Amino acid sequence: MKPVVAVVLTWIAPGAGHWYLGNRKKAIFYFVLLTGLYLAGMAIADFRNINLDRHPFFFLTYIFYGGATLLAQILTQGLAMVRPLERLDVGCLYSAVAGLLNILVMIDAYLFASGYSAHAADS
């Protein structure tokens, strides 16, 4: 049960699963790194990149960022494209990469909670 809880918490917020498991330094590192990348993407795209209607394929990657994506979708859905944004695709890419990296953080949280150790696998 602990690995599943860690994965769900990590989906809600990167690093939350590691925090739950007691690995505070790793939790802070993941949260700062991925949240910074995600927010940088939003800032570059003038907060218009997290939109299911406008960017359905990117949104599939954003969903792995979990709670922040749901919140961003709600808060920014009313923002209209009033002018062309030169760096919209770059912003979409930054936020998408953050979502995809969170998959790796979820896997790491699952393995950590399961007691998996890379050193034990080498023996």
Model pLDDT for residues 21-44, shown as the tens digit of each residue: 999 999 999 999 999 999 999 899
**How many independent structural domains does the chain possess?**
1
Q: What pLDDT, on the 0 to 100 scale, is given for residue 52?
A: 78
Which tokens hold the place of 100? 């995809």
Q: Is residue 47 part of a domain?
A: yes
Listed residue (115, 117, 110, 120) closest to 18, CA to CA: 110
- Burial-class residue 8 by CB neighbours within 10 Å (0-12, 13-18, 19+): middle
Q: What pLDDT, on the 0 to 100 scale, is given for residue 120?
A: 58
User: What is the residue type of 9?
Assistant: L
User: What is the residue type of 90?
Assistant: V
Q: Is residue 123 part of a domain?
A: no
Question: How far is the C-alpha of 33 from the C-alpha of 120, rounded, in Å?
Answer: 28
Q: What pLDDT, on the 0 to 100 scale, is given for residue 121?
A: 55
Tell me the pLDDT tens digit for each residue of 47-78.
Answer: 888 877 777 777 778 888 888 888 888 888 88
Q: Which domain holds residue 102?
A: 2-118
Q: What pLDDT, on the 0 to 100 scale, is given for residue 10?
A: 95
